[in-house]
Structure 1
Amino acid sequence: MRSLAGLVAIAAVASVYLYLLSTCLPPGPRKVKGESEGVQEYRLKFPSDLDELRELAHTLKFYEREHYGYVLLLYCSAYLYKQSFAIPGSSLLNMLAGAIFGPWLGLALACVCSTAGSTLCFLLSSAFGKQYVVYLFPETVAMLQRKVEENHSSLFFFLLFLRFFPMTPNWTLNITCPVLNIPMSIFFFSVLIGLIPYNFICVRTGSILSKISSLDDIFSWSTLAQLLAIALMALVPGALIKHCSKDCLKVDSNGTSQAEIKNARKRQ
């Protein structure tokens, strides 16, 4: 119970900090709604469709020009919060990075924040949650433990493989790695390198979608060509790691170990 109380206390402090940071906004842009409605200020919220994404990107673009440090701190804090406490949904923040900061700076921020946040999640799980992870995800832990033992001699490439071709969500992998006794250095660099394709797709897509004025623009030749190029470039690292590691990793194309295939055949 002591470890659970410590985790809850850290989560509470982080939640209060993020709430205060998001509510103590500097002067923002104003939007004229009409003579009867008067002038209203934009309000920050997570977007649920393309129009809201573009509106939020426009708002934060204003803050970036006038209060760059605030926008950077708010974005990094929100990203680290979600990653540290294993909250799914980092793709939206990656898309916002592309819409606000552009494709290349956005990609750098997404890679740094995802790596730092995953490492904080690793540390929190190691310090407070090992027993709870085993209790809540016994099958996942057992499956990953078998595969780690089978690929012990090429552990780094195996973790890269899991990031490129995830058998479990990334947040699940972050909280289970301490239970599997994965060294932090191997974990850190596998996240940093392994999430580049995923981050690139999300950031570049956000950069493109933020400039689209209607859904019809998505099907323009220029937009389709850019999205196709993104997809092809994202496939290259995964294909390379899969080709280079197929002789040393004991997984097939579906992420199933050869030992599990043999056992399944014996049971048939």
Structure 2
Amino acid sequence: MRATIQRNYQRVPSQDSEVVEKSPGLSTSKAAIIVGFIFLSSIIALGFVYRQFPDLEENERQHLKLPWDLEDAKHLGLVLDRYKDKYFYEVLLGVFLVYIFLQTFAIPGSLFLSILSGFLFPFYFALLLVCCCSAIGASLCFFLSNILGKKVVKKFFPERAAQWSKAVEKHKNNLLNYMIFLRVTPFLPNWFINLTAPVIGVPLFPFALGTFIGVAPPSFVAIQAGQTLHTLTSTRDAWSWTSVTVLSLFAIISLIPVLLKQKLKEKFE
């Protein structure tokens, strides 16, 4: 199995994969220390942003935390909405940095921040914010995965990584459309894509741009739900046949250039 996976990794002739293969210098322990240092530095930065926030009442302070479920998002949204007009940039910076932090370290909760953004900000501003945060956070996760992710993926997800490596090789001439398709559809979780992409040779540019474009349709649904956050009882309420149809349509559109390219190639060959 390991030999098969190694062959699959070597099939993708990208510059990023060459860097990974040719620079195994960092041991797992050193790589873990570097990632741990970056994580602690990020926590300190978030703590600094927290201290810049205005003084809250005691009953509000308990809700100023990462939203792990819809109720947390509701309470946090009410607190931030109260201070948003007077401290707009502090609130915006807080949402921006926390979103990137979650994406960078593959921590669950970004869905609730997308919903929260729809509650706090105008629709199109919130959509741009979520797409930018997703692309930046995923790119930072990409770099961390170059340091430590290869060892983690090969150890815990060898079969899935091998399968996706074959898919990358198959779509190497259409990686941007392939990344958009993966982001729009729920076939692979975003955290898994972020961790494995640099390991199996996906270049940074189509990865980042594909993320920015591909997260827009599902974020559209989450942000739209956030505008009625106070009435939501479950994240399932954000989904409807209309939203599923829209996502399916975007997924098909992302594949049209690939199909056309293949048709033209077959015609002229």
TM band (smaller chain): 0.7 to 0.9
Deviation at 1:50, TM superposition (A): 5.7
Which of 108, 124, 129 in structure 2 is aligned with 1:109?
129
State the alpha-carbon separation in 2 of the partners of residues 106 and 201 from structure 1.
12
C-alpha distance after superposition, 1:193-250 (max 9, x if no partner): 111111111111111224x3x86xxxxxxx99x966545444431232245545768x
Identity across matched positions, percent: 29
Structure 2 equivalent of residue 252 of structure 1? none
Which of 97, 104, 113 in structure 2 is aligned with 1:84?
104
Which of 201, 226, 229 in structure 2 is aligned with 1:209?
229
Structure 2 equivalent of residue 7 of structure 1? 35
State the alpha-carbon separation in 1 of the partners of residues 41 and 160 from structure 2.
30
Residue 56 (structure 2) pairs with residue 55 (structure 1): no
Code of the residue aligned with 1:95 in structure 2: it is I
State the alpha-carbon separation in 2 of the partners of residues 188 and 97 from structure 1.
21
Structure 2 equivalent of residue 174 of structure 1? 194
Count matched residues.
Answer: 230
Q: Does structure 2 conserve the Cα–Cα contact (< 8 Å) formed by 1:122 and 1:175?
A: yes
Which of 249, 254, 258 in structure 2 is aligned with 1:236?
249
Structure 2 equivalent of residue 22 of structure 1? 50
State the alpha-carbon separation in 1 of the partners of residues 143 and 155 from structure 2.
18
Structure 2 equivalent of residue 254 of structure 1? none
Q: Secondary structure at the match of 2:85?
A: helix
State the alpha-carbon separation in 1 of the partners of residues 72 and 152 from structure 2.
38
The RMSD of aligned alpha carbons is: 2.7
Q: Does structure 1 conserve the Cα–Cα contact (< 8 Å) formed by 2:69 and 2:112?
A: no
Deviation at 1:85, TM superposition (A): 0.6
Q: Secondary structure at the match of 2:39?
A: helix
Deviation at 1:180, TM superposition (A): 1.2
Residue 83 (structure 2) pairs with residue 70 (structure 1): no
C-alpha distance after superposition, 1:33-81 (max 9, x if no partner): xxxxxx8445313456666544322210122111111111111111011
Deviation at 1:130, TM superposition (A): 2.0
Higher relative contact order (CA 8 A, sep 6+): 2
Q: Does structure 2 conserve the Cα–Cα contact (< 8 Å) formed by 1:201 and 1:231?
A: no
| Larger helix percent | 2
C-alpha distance after superposition, 1:75-134 (max 9, x if no partner): 111101100011123111100100111322111110110110000000111133322222
Structure 2 equivalent of residue 257 of structure 1? none
Q: Does structure 2 conserve the Cα–Cα contact (< 8 Å) formed by 1:95 and 1:206?
A: yes
Q: Any gaps of 5 or more consecutive residues in structure 1?
A: 31-38, 216-222, 250-268
Q: Does structure 2 conserve the Cα–Cα contact (< 8 Å) formed by 1:200 and 1:234?
A: no
State the alpha-carbon separation in 1 of the partners of residues 72 and 107 from structure 2.
22
What TM-score do you get using the length of structure 2 for normalisation? 0.75
Q: Any gaps of 5 or more consecutive residues in structure 2?
A: 1-28, 263-269
Q: Could you say if the C-alpha distance between residues 62 and 121 of structure 1 is closer, same or farther in structure 2, counting changes exceeding 3 Å?
A: same
Q: Secondary structure at the match of 1:66?
A: coil
What TM-score do you get using the length of structure 1 for normalisation? 0.75
Deviation at 1:167, TM superposition (A): 2.6
Q: Does structure 2 conserve the Cα–Cα contact (< 8 Å) formed by 1:122 and 1:174?
A: yes
State the alpha-carbon separation in 2 of the partners of residues 228 and 151 from structure 1.
30
